[in-house]
């Protein structure tokens, strides 16, 4: 992350840009603006932002499609901006690799709080062992990378943090609310199913036949990282 965090605001509504700019500048962050999907992708390459605020409904290309394209080459934290009640957008955004979401209409102060939380999570080193190794799996919190059978697997910052949290406590059951509090922060008020969505993606990316470890679901409670060999 750069010394002064750079925020890319992607929204087709000029009023949203105006309302967020003042608060972002008050935090001494730099920022740039994009007003449609195509411009958003271009700005990601040109500006190399530290965090992206991404509206779902934009001309040229939807925010969800933009998120999908970004995740092909970048792990930049993304906060999805979505209309009230559009649960499908929130779920799809998280499945595509977004780190958080905010429902419109929102308070700019809430957005700033979420930005700070995401930047804090992705910018701070882990307190527990930075590198964990298991059968065919390596989790490195120094550079936020995950290797499966020696190959670096594209992971979002949040996915790395969840996997590292579970793998740091093998055999220990962790509830969804506990995971939310430790990874997203205690002030996070999102849906606990966010954890389920991230766990599903993690499993899809790193599970392989014969592994001596697994991420197990504990019905109605949460998850645990189990090592059998």
Domain boundaries, the chain: 6-123, 131-227
Q: Could you report the per-residue pLDDT of 22-46, keeping only the tens digit for each? A: 888 888 888 999 999 999 999 999 9
Calpha distance 57→37 (Å, rounded) = 9
3-state secondary structure the chain: CCCCCEEEEECCCHHHHHHHHHHHHHCCCEEEEECCHHHHHHHHHHHCCCEEEEECCCCCCCHHHHHHHHHHHCCCCEEEEEECCCHHHHHHHHHCCCCEEEEECCCHHHHHHHHHHHHHHHHCCCCCCCEEEECCEEEECCCCEEEECCEEECCCHHHHHHHHHHHCCCCCCEEHHHHHHHHHCCCCCCCCHHHHHHHHHHHHHHCCCCCCEEEEEECCCEEEEEECC
Take residue 88 and report the two structure tokens written for it.
């499908």
> 131-227, what's its fold?
Arc Repressor Mutant, subunit A (1.10.10)
Q: Could you report the per-residue pLDDT of 197-212, keeping only the tens digit for each? A: 999 999 999 998 889 9
User: Residue 73: which pLDDT band, with cuts at 50, 70 and 90?
Assistant: confident
Contact status, residue 223 vs residue 119, Cβ threshold 8 Å: no
Q: What is the pTM of this model?
A: 0.57
According to DSSP, the residues that pair with 153 across neighbouring strands are: 146
Calpha distance 142→135 (Å, rounded) = 20
Calpha distance 137→59 (Å, rounded) = 41
Q: Could you report the per-residue pLDDT of 122-139, keeping only the tens digit for each? A: 764 434 457 889 999 999
pLDDT score recorded for residue 123: 65
Strands 100-104 and 131-134: unpaired
Domain 6-123: assigned CATH number: 3.40.50.2300
pLDDT score recorded for residue 125: 40
Q: Could you report the per-residue pLDDT of 45-69, keeping only the tens digit for each? A: 999 899 999 999 999 999 999 999 9
pLDDT score recorded for residue 205: 95
- Among candidates 132, 216, 130, which has minimal Cα distance to 173? 216
Q: Please indicate whether the domains covering 6-123 and 131-227 agree at the CATH topology level.
A: no
Take residue 100 and report the two structure tokens written for it.
């958080």
Q: Max CA-CA distance within the chain?
A: 57
pLDDT score recorded for residue 60: 92
């Amino acid at each position: 992350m750069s010394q002064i965090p750079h925020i890319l605001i992607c929204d087709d509504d000029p009023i949203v840009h105006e309302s967020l700019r003042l608060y972002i500048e008050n935090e001494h962050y730099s920022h740039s603006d994009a007003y449609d999907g195509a411009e958003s992708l271009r700005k990601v390459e040109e500006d190399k932002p530290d965090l992206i605020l991404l509206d779902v409904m934009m001309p040229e290309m939807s925010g969800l499609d933009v998120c999908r394209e970004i995740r092909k080459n970048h792990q930049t934290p993304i906060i999805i901006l979505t209309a009230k009640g559009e649960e499908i957008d929130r779920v799809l955004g998280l499945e595509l690799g977004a780190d958080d979401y905010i429902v419109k209409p929102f308070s700019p102060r809430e957005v700033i709080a979420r930005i700070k939380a995401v930047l804090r999570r992705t910018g701070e080193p882990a307190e527990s062992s930075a590198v964990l190794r298991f059968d065919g799996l390596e989790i490195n919190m120094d550079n936020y990378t995950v290797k499966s059978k020696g190959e670096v697997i594209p992971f979002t910052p949040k996915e790395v943090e969840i996997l590292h949290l579970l793998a740091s406590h093998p055999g220990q059951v962790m509830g969804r609310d506990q995971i939310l509090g430790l990874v997203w922060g205690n002030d996070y008020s999102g849906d606990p199913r966010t954890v389920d969505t991230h766990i599903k993606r993690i499993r899809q990316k790193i599970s392989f036949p014969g592994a001596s470890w697994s991420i197990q679901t504990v019905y109605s409670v949460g998850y645990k990282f189990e090592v059998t060999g």
